[in-house]
Structures are given as structure tokens and as C-alpha cells.
A and B are shown apart, each in its own frame.
Chain A
Amino acid sequence: MKKEANITLGALTCAAMSLPGMVVQDAQAEAAPDKHTASYRYTSYAEADQQEHALSSLGGPIARYEISVHQFLVSGPLVANKAYSIGIGTESMSGASPMFVQPVVDENGDVKPVQVMSGASIEEQRTDVSLGFELYESTSKFGFGFGVSTENDYNSVSGTINHTSWFNDKNTTFDLSTGVSFDTIEPTDAGVYIGDSNELLYPLRPLEEEKQSLSASMGLSHVVNRTLLLGGSVNYAVYNGFMSDPYKQAYIAYHYDEESGQYVEGAVVADSRPDVRKQAALNLQARWFIAKANAALHSDYRFFSTDWGTNSHTVNLAWYQNFGNFQVVPRVRFYHQTAANFYRNYYLVDRADGYYSSDYRLSEFHALSFRLRGQYTFGAFNFHASYENYISGSNNSDPQLGENPGLVDFSFFSLGADYRW
């Protein structure tokens, strides 16, 4: 007996689609884009004010960094399987940054570290330009990029080369990439004397320094089935040159002053870090598409290690929920890192290796961030907005290795739009 036509349609479509060669292989994965895209994004990043109870009596501004970023990106096809991208960004930064940490004795007689901020609020402008080029072949893609970033005290030039190839009916993707960067630092007000005197305004700041980096990465991802993608990658990088922060200092309780040959109580020395850093990272990712919910769960883990001793673990979970043309993405991220070997909030005595840093970014801490992102597609337009809140802290109560008083909480929001033609 014949079936109803709508039942027949389902049965025949199913039988047709199970025939080999009836489904278009993911042409997007290997074909150059066929449309141009222009994107704009505005991001406002604001660090929470320095906590006053953790601020030194030396004072300083409590307002930390605020950064506004404008980013423009245009990308699209060139002739014969080639694609381009051009990006321009500007950043305006203002606020004060932590300078060094000093120990104080509180009302209970306990030693606690407190933050000394940079004396003046800083105003900075940064501009960057990036160019990208991609060449698509039937089962591979080759790309290179070039970037320049400039601000009044820092210039950087970088280049990347990457290659992606697809195997196994394009279910498996293999990536290789390498990059180099060359940076020069000319700290603000370095070599400036106070008035007509012979005394330098910032005697610890170098006039000009350089650093370079070389990095490589290798990644593999595989579509296990229609609802699961697994991937992993390893990265390795070597940094060479001046990696200290010329605007930061470190406090030494009992410092031997070579000029006078005397021990000085409570000396401040320049932030000083090794001139080589080797780092490696392992990234693992899983993407589950949950058809019933029209949503996808993205889970990521990253282990990052440097030969300075900062090892970190990052766990990232994001839920991509689709509602027609809307997409909402709540994300939670947990981060923990150990301190660098030479890091202390402050130092009791001089170190034999001469390395000093009380930069909170080298301390032991954990951080938790929540982000909510929404996007709406309307014809050729895509509008998106994000808000993120980040809080950090440490459970370590040791005055020298425990929570850095400069640890920062921040929030940012971002608004953007893309147009395709």
C-alpha cells in the first residue's frame, strides 16, 4: 500500500542523503571567502580602583587603568582562491599602575604587604595595523600575517606564517604556525633630569631596550561525529631580551648598596627579570552540539608553563544558545597560576641572581570571570555585545608570597557590528 506523500518525502530524502557524495563537503573550510566583511568593535575595559586598605601611606592615585579600544577589520576574497584581511586598532589608556609593594606592620603587629602606585596618572595611546593574506588550495590553506604596533614608549613588529591542511574527508584538520616579533622599549621620561640638577627623575629606568620572540604551534582537531569535535594543540615560544617592566620597582628590606658599601634599610630597586623566557602550552578542546536544544557546549582546558616558574591551568566553559537569528553565549572561566621563582611581594635581602619583581602578574593567584555575549544577525548585518566581569585573589597568606595587594579586578563591555557584501 502506498504511503502518504509527506511520509514518502521523509523516507526518500533520508535514503538519498545516505548515498555517498550527496552532501556538499564543507566548502567553507577550504574555500576562500566569497564575501567581504567589514567589522567594527568598541571595547571599554576598566580596572577596579586600588583598594585603599592595601595602599601604602606613600599614597598615589587609586584609579587604575581604563582602556578604550576601537577596532576596524576588513576581510574578503581576492582573485583565484586568495583572501585578504586588514585591521586597524587604536587604544587609549589612562590611570595609574602599581609600582612596587612594601611591607608595613598593621595594628595587630602583623606584617602585611601594601601597594605603592605610580606617582602620576598615565595617558597613553596605542595604534596597531595588521595585514593578512591567505591562499586556499583544495585540501589546504596557507596564510601569513604582518603587524605593527606603536605607542610613545613601545614599538612592535611581528610576522606569522601558518598552514592548515584537511584530511580524512575533511573531518581532520592539522595546523602548523610560526611567528616572530621584534619589540623596542623607550621608557617615558628615562634620562630626564630634575630641573637643572644632575639628578635623574627616574634613575632606574633604562633609555632603550629590545626584545624578540620566536614561537611555533601545532594543532589537530577531528570531527568525531555530527555532534562532537575534539581538538588539541601545543605551543612553544622563546622570548629574548629586556622583559622587565621599566615602570615597576621592587622593595628590599635590607639592601647592600655597593656605592657606599653600606646596608640600606628599605631600598627600592628596578624591576629586573631574566632576559630569556621559554614557555610551552597544551590546549585541549571539545565542542558538543546539542541538537535538541539548538545549542553547543564549548569546553577548553589549557596548561601553560614557563621556565620562570609560572605554571597555569585554565578551564573554560561556554554555552552557545541559538534562538533563530539570536545567539546568546554565557561563559565561565577559571584560572590559577603559580608564582615566578624570583617573584616576591617584597624582598628581605638582596638576591644572588639579581632578579626582582613584585608585579602582581607574576604572583600566585586565581581568577574567575563571567562573560555574557549576545549577537543578532539581520540580513547582511551582525550585531554583537559582550560584558565580562573578572575577579582575582589568592588563598596564600604569606606576606612575601601571598596575595599581591595590586591584584586587579576588572570588567569590560564590547559592542560591535559586522557587515557582509
Chain B
Amino acid sequence: MGGPCEFKLYCASSQSAAAIFDELESEVRRLEAKYSRYLSSSIVSKINSQSGSCCPVDLDTETFGLLQYADQMFIQSGGMFDASSGVLRRVWNFKEGRLPSSSAIEAILPLVNWNNVSFTQQGVSLKVSGMEVDFGGFGKEYATDLCAVRAESQGIKHGLVNLGGDIRAIGPHPDGKPWQVGIQHPRRMGEPIATVALYQGALATSGDYERYMVVDGVRYSHLLNPKTGQPLELAYCSASVIAETCLVAGSFTTLTLLLSSEDPSWLSSSGLPYLLIDQSMQLSGSITLV
């Protein structure tokens, strides 16, 4: 899940707690095995390995639903969120700290186009050989929601699911007090810049600090424009959103950063509580801070 994961659940007994924790852990492992692009046995790897082939890969209901979700993200963002843009990693290596050549970017851009992903309930095919899709843009948020829903379906009324910073509260503490959730300081790792009181619902945060590189004094974010293959100049270095589900909260944080250079105020009309941190570390938004 790319980060520390924790479940904090108030249970009637230690036996029922152990059973629920086991169930949640196996749910996370199931999702990782099914959708990890690093595992050759995953359905994502299977879809990608069949790119350019005429034969669609069979889909189950869950994967079809995730493709539909990715489709909505593409439509709603005007193409700025593209679940086929993962191939840009081949030229943008943030660990090495080296800028790719323009020709390398030009060469790989034909592989980035969600319109070339064709899917129905029966199957999915990637029309161009070498294309890849992945659900990394919202998979962790989806897993957070599934764990919270499962715990709640088991009768848990008070708890918190945290998968690598994607958080969903199942009601407040039993005494009615909210969960105190820290928002990462974008420039001081491990330090919170603010604390949010979360009673119910989900809180997600995206930031330019997750992966980046500094070359010749210029900071390059991991958030790439799928149309140009170039890093985006973000108006904000962090966006946090509270929504009913972590999937929606996380999608809004991602879309906010992706759209921020063009429309910094886009998020405000959603009506969702949010917290934005600009490049000068100024906080703005509608989330009430502790």
C-alpha cells in the first residue's frame, strides 16, 4: 500500500477484533494481488500484457467498475487524469534525478491516451501495443473504503482505517470525540502542518512531495500532464479533502492538483470541505482545523 497502514477499531471482544482485523488484512492483500502492476499474476499486468492484441481480457464486476471510475476521472478532468499515463514513468525516473529528452517523451506519448482503452462488461483491450493502465491513482483510496465498509458491516461503530495516509473514519471515538488527523507538512517530512478533527467520512491528501526531483534548482513534481508528458506547475503543493468516501476524497485531491495550474479555484465549487497549501506554505480552505 506504499506506506504504513493501520486499523483502529473499537470491538466488543478481543476475539471479534482479531477476526475483523484478519478479514481486513486479507481484503487489502486481495486487492494488492489483484491490481498491483508489479505482480505479473495481477489482472492489471494481464491487461497490459495483452495491449495491442485483438482479444479483449475478460473482466469481473469489480475491475469493470474501476475502469468505469477511471473513465469518469478522465471525462471529469477534461483528460488531465489519464489512467494510461503510467507509462510516462519509463522516461521520468524521479529516483535518478535526470530529465528525459524531448524525443524520449515524444516517443512515448502515443501510448498515453485513455480513448484507446476500450472496455465493456465482458472485456477490456488496449488498442496500442505497449500501452498500460493502472489504478494507482485511486486504488489505495478504494481499498480504504472497502476496509471501512467491511468493518462497519461487521457491526463496528467506532474506528479509523488508515492506508498510507488515506483515511476513513467509522464514526468518532465511543465518547463522541473526533479522531485527530494530522496533515503532512509539504516540506518537513514527518511533521504535521495542521490537525483536522474527523468524526465520520474520509480524508485524503495529495502533495507534490510524494515523488519529485530537483534538477538545476528546479523542482519537478511527479504529477505529469498526460497530454504533453511534462510535469505540471502546481499552484498548490498539497490538497486535502473530506468526503463521504475516500475514493471521492482522494480523486478530488488529485484532480485539484492536476487542474491547479489552470484553475486554482476549481475545488471550491464542489462544496466539499478542503484544505489547500500553496507554494509559500499558506493554508486556505473550508476544513475546520483543531
Contacts and interface: CB of A to CB of B under 8 A. Distances in A.
B102 interface: no
Contact of A24 (B62, B76, B78, B149): B149
A13 B248 contact: yes
Contact of A1 (B65, B78, B154, B155): B78
B267 interface: yes
Contacts of A27: 152-155
Given A27-B153, A34-B157, A5 B72 contact: no
Nearest to B149: A24
Given A2-B266, A5-B267, A24-B149, A18 B76 contact: no
Contact of A22 (B77, B80, B149, B263): B149
A292 B272 CA distance: 26
B280 interface: no
A167 to B, nearest CB: 16
Interface string B267-279: 1111110000000
Contact of B72 (A12, A22, A79, A138): A12
A12 B75 contact: no
Contacts of B268: 5
Contact of B142 (A17, A19, A31, A34): A19
Contacts of B66: 19
B248 A3 contact: no
Give chain A's interface residue range (CB within 8 Å of chain B). 20 to 34
Given A2-B263, A80-B12, A22 B145 contact: yes
B244 A5 contact: no
A22 B150 CA distance: 9
B270 A5 contact: yes
Given A16-B69, A22-B149, A27-B152, A8 B76 contact: yes
Nearest to B62: A20
B153 A25 contact: yes
Contacts of A6: 269-271
A21 interface: yes
Contacts of A5: 252, 266-271
A15 interface: yes
A107 interface: no
B213 interface: no
B13 interface: yes
Interface string B237-248: 000000111011
B83 interface: no
A16 B248 contact: yes
Given A9-B248, A27-B153, A4 B269 contact: yes
Interface in A378-397: none
Contacts of A22: 145-146, 149, 245, 247
Contact of A20 (B16, B65, B72, B263): B65
Interface of A: 1-9, 11-13, 15-25, 27, 31-32, 34, 79-81, 138
Given A5-B268, A21-B146, A34-B157, 6 more contacts: A15-B68, A16-B245, A19-B62, A21-B150, A22-B146, A81-B12
21 contacts: A2-B77, A4-B269, A8-B76, A8-B252, A9-B270, A12-B247, A15-B69, A16-B69, A16-B245, A19-B62, A20-B65, A21-B146, A21-B149, A22-B245, A22-B247, A24-B152, A31-B155, A32-B155, A80-B12, A81-B12, A138-B154
